[in-house]
Amino acid sequence: MEKRLSRVIQQPLPGNQTETYGTFVFADEGHTLGNALVSVISEYPSVKICGHTVPHPAEKRVHLNIQTTGENVIDVLKRGLQDLEKMCDHTLETFDEAYEKYKASQDVPNTT
């Protein structure tokens, strides 16, 4: 997880950067990660606002804005990344199990 966070650069906003508000820039990412993180993080009770932007289509980066009611914004981001990773792992496991089940059902010889 920490290795992946090295691609995140917290951007200070003059006069606006606080423990409960932050803008994070993800290098080499786009709307796919931005939408997924917003979807996960927006569900947290302590989050007031969460959104993302891609400044320009030619740039491979996404800006993620988070504002909380009191929880540390960096902790919220880390939790969001961890929860998203768990969701992806679960999806992959479920798909693999269903695929193996399907393959096994196709190996049954045709008796008709």
Query: Is 18's pLDDT higher than 90?
Result: no
**pTM recorded for the entire structure:** 0.78
pLDDT in tens, 83-106: 999 999 999 999 999 999 999 988
Average pLDDT over residues 73-86: 95
- The alpha-helical segments, DSSP class H, found in 13-108 are 31-41, 73-106
Query: Taking phi first (over 0 means left), then psi (-120 to 50 degrees means alpha), and beta for anything else, what does residue 50 get?
Result: beta
Nearest to 34 by CA among 53, 13, 57, 47: 53
Poorest-confidence range of 52-56, 86-90, 105-109? 105-109
Rounded Cα–Cα distance for residues 49 and 23 (Å): 11
pLDDT score at 94? 97
Residue pointed to by tokens 């009770």: 45
